[in-house]
Amino acid sequence: MTRFDPFPLIRSVGLDGMLVTFADTMTEQSNRAALAFRGALHEAGWEGVVESSTSLASAYLRFDPLRLSHAEVQARLAALLAERDWYAAPLPSGRKLWRVPTVYGTDLAPQLEDAAMAAGLDVGEAIRRLGKSRVRVLTIGFAPGQPYLGPLAPEFDIPRLQQLTPMVPEGALVCAIRQLIVFAGPTPTGWRHIGQTAFRCFRPGMEPTFALNPGDEMMFEPIERAELDHIRAHNEDGTGGATVEEIAA
């Protein structure tokens, strides 16, 4: 197995949890490992396991301590880790590719120019590169259904703002540290607001409530403002005009 010493690490989390961590920072390989390992945990179907989930570079397992001991869970996790190189493992099946119509810049997303400058690009080139970027849902977090997406190309390794933007709307596309976020609701942020969509990550009262799953992929394709206005007026399903397709295994 490829190892990034001292990883992977198995650690206890409280009375009923175990965390398998593949790196101390998010990389494509560490996120791939976390997603693939969590997929294998799900497929294993161990009795006594209550739930599993992932973060940017870790997989979490919660279990019933009355049915499984910490020692037994740790031994099973260690055995599963030894089965393959998780850093190069195939991603789980059932993933989807979302193509989301996006207005870049204008007064709807006023920090695009600043982000382009930080990336060493003119605005047109920044839009071209962002619009062609295919990014992975690295994890869901911070707010219900909200994705962290990446990694972007190295030029988009731009820092967070030193001061918070007081509020950006639902569907805002923001950028920092080679990642994107589509906000699930209005929120303050230290990430640069570069695009605006009508995509709803969190859809209360609908099935599924969360539109995205870790491992899904997204592209944010440029459109004009008039098209976004039309999409907003006919957005009953919350997809914001996005198309979706299954990713072949």
Mean pLDDT of 73-82: 97
pLDDT greater than 70 at residue 2: no
Query: What is the pLDDT at residue 239?
Result: 96
Instruction: Output the CA–CA distances (angstroms, integers) from residue 40 to 52, 74, 205, in the order listed.
Output: 10, 15, 30
Q: What is the pLDDT of residues 129-188, one digit of tens each?
A: 999 999 999 999 999 999 999 999 999 999 999 999 999 999 999 999 999 999 999 999
Q: Determine the longest span between alpha carbons in the chain, in angstroms.
A: 59
Q: What is the pTM of this model?
A: 0.93
Cβ atoms of 122 and 213 within 8 Å: the answer is no
CATH 3.30.1360.40 assigned to 9-88: yes
Q: What is the pLDDT of residues 108-133, one digit of tens each?
A: 999 999 999 999 999 999 999 999 99
pLDDT greater than 70 at residue 4: no
Burial pattern 17-44, b for ≥16 Cβ within 10 A else e, equals bbebbbbeebbebbbbbbbbbbbbbeee
Query: What is the pLDDT at residue 3?
Result: 56
- Out of 3.30.70.20, 2.40.100.10, 3.40.50.620, 3.90.180.10, select the CATH number for domain 96-246: 2.40.100.10
Instruction: Output the CA–CA distances (angstroms, integers) from residue 99 to 14, 96, 212, 216, 240, in the order listed.
Output: 40, 10, 12, 11, 10
Question: What is the number of other CB atoms lying within 10 angstroms of the CB of residue 165?
Answer: 17
pLDDT greater than 60 at residue 206: yes
Mean pLDDT of 76-99: 96
Q: Where are the domains of the chain?
A: 9-88, 96-246
